[in-house]
Structure formats: structure tokens, C-alpha cells
Amino acid sequence: MAHILLIDDFDLIRSLLRDTLEFAGHTVIEARNGGDGLALFRRAGADLVITDIVMPDKDGIDVVRALREQVPPVNIIAISGAGGSAEDYLDLAYRMGAVKVLLKPFTTAALIAAVNELLPGAGI
């Protein structure tokens, strides 16, 4: 299974997503903001990164931009539910290099489907 870096500033959302991903058999490491997430990625690496967009100390757009410079590049799923502008943020994240985007709230099935699509052989 995959080693996934999950970056979101809301503890409850991180907890719910971590539980879902771990139930699907993945190992999850977590960060509360983009700065911590990028530092953790540099130390631990990941097969996949799931990042929120609107966060303090480096937002998700900064995370996507920085991760696109990695060699080899990592797959990124951007998530956001930041009010009426969430779709605009997700569109920008996609244009910056996120491979998939999910608008909050999304179902656990949608999350697992996106992960499985980006990590062949990861399905449960």
C-alpha cells in the first residue's frame, strides 16, 4: 500500500481522512500546514500528497508549486471547501500541477477512488 502525506489545518478533517486512508491500508503521515508538510515531505517522502488549499504558513498552492519541483514528481490531490471561491482555488491548484482535485465535502468513496486512480494496485 501507499505512503501518503496528508496536509490540512483542521484537526477533525485530518483525523477523518487519516482514518479513511488507513482503513484502506495506507500509511499516513500528517502536517497542519504547508510549511510543515513540505518539511515532512523532504524528510520522509511520500507516494502521494493530499493537501488542503487554504491554510496558514504556506497554502496548498505553494505546496503544489514546490512539489512540482521534486524529482521524480509526486502525485498530488488538492482539496478545498473554502466558501464560494473553493472551485477557483481548486482550478488554480490543478493548473499548477495537482493531478486530482476534490471539493469539500466529498465522500470517502470519492477519496478512495482518487487515490486508487493515482496509485495503481492500491485498491482494497
What's the pLDDT at 86? 86
pLDDT digits (tens, 9 = 90+) for 52-64: 999 988 999 999 9
Long-range pairs for 69-74: beta carbons < 8 A, 24 or more residues apart: 70/41, 73/97, 74/41, 74/46, 74/47, 74/48, 74/49
CATH of 3-118, one of 3.90.226.10, 3.40.50.2300, 3.10.450.750, 3.90.180.10: 3.40.50.2300
- Domain layout of the chain by residue ranges: 3-118
**How high is the pLDDT of residue 82?**
64
Interval 16-39: pLDDT, tens: 999 999 999 999 999 999 999 999
